[in-house]
Every structure is written in structure tokens, then in C-alpha cells.
Amino acid sequence: MELKNHCAIWAVAWGLAGALTGPPSALYAEPYELSKSDVMEPKAIASVEVSLFGVKLGDSEAHAVELLVNEKIAGVKAEQESTFIFLLDQRKPTGPMAGVRIQDGKVDLIFINNRFAYKARGVFRNVLNSESPDEIRKLLGKEEYGDENVMGAVLAYDKQGFQVNYLGKDVNIEFAPPR
């Protein structure tokens, strides 16, 4: 009888330990390939699961160069400058539509802007085509903090690892490791 109680106590203790030390819920987010996935639930997105043509945060520089520069991506021209790999729309190569930043040999930032909207899928396609910060909030929910003024707005979703910068018709989304 005493052995049964002892085993039950250990089972409860191990269950609690697993629940308390398990990974944060952001790690259970759905994988989201910016150019393919139709994820529409913003809470299901975490920057650690976001990829740009197969490149994710934390990937090596060699992997990013292989997938973004060496591989041919339809309609995209890649340029590597300093710590950035920029992706330009071949139809209108006026500026980068997306890219990554590499620090210490690893991808530490992924960005997309409204020029990428025609390639984006899911909720971020709608965000990139938004007409106002309020429209972005309707799509993503209330930001954790931000700044809004006559020039534009910064909407930070740090727990999920992304930030939206809105400046009139220019919308930029940056993905970085969650804080």
C-alpha cells in the first residue's frame, strides 16, 4: 500500500516538473514559410518557425547563401551586401522586398516589406497590404507596445518575435528571436 502511494507521488512530481520546465508555447508554433504557408491565425506564428525561401533564424551564413543566392528563385534577384542578403523583385528592382541579416555567421533577422506582398501568403500578405495601423491590429491583435505618430507606427509583438513598421504605404515586418 505504501509503495503505491510513493509511486503516485513520483508520477505527479514528474508530471509537474515536465509541465514547469517544458519549452515555451512559442516553440509549438506552426511552421510558416512566408512564400507558401496560408497561416491566418497570428497567435500560431513565432519568429523561430518563420522561414524565407527555406531560411530560418539561426541558420548558418553558408545555408542562407546557398538557398537565397545560389539557388534560383523565380522572379527574384538576390544581392549580397555586407551583412545582408537582399531579395529584389526582378520586375521592379527598385529596392529589396525581403532579405536576411547575418551576424556572427548566423541569420539573426529576416525582413519583408510591401514589395513582397505578391509573394507572401497568409496573414502577413494582408498585413503588407494594410492601409493603417488599426487595420494591422485587426489582423494581428493588439501589440505589446509601440509608437504611433503622424509619420507612422511601430507595432511590436516581441513575445512572438516580430515587429511591424508602418509608414504610409510602406509596411515592413522584421522577424528576430523572441524576447
pLDDT at 169: 84
Radius of gyration of the chain (CA): 20
Segment (H or E) for 111: strand 106-113
pTM of the model: 0.82
DSSP state of 40: -
Q: Enumerate long-range contacts of 141-149, CB under 8 Å, 24 or more apart.
A: 141/42, 141/43
All residue ranges of the chain with pLDDT < 50 are: 1-27
Q: What pLDDT, on a 0 to 100 scale, did the predictor assign at position 29? A: 61
CB 128 within 8 A of CB 112: yes
Give the whole-angstrom CA distance, residue 46 versus residue 158.
10
Please check whether residue 135 is in contact with residue 142, taking contact to mean a CB–CB distance below 8 angstroms.
no
- Domain ranges in the chain are 30-175
- The answer to whether residues 143 and 155 touch, using CB atoms and an 8 Å cutoff, is yes
Q: Could you tell me which of 83, 125, 119 has the C-alpha nearest to residue 100?
A: 83
CA dihedral 101, 29, 144, 109 (to 10 degrees): 0
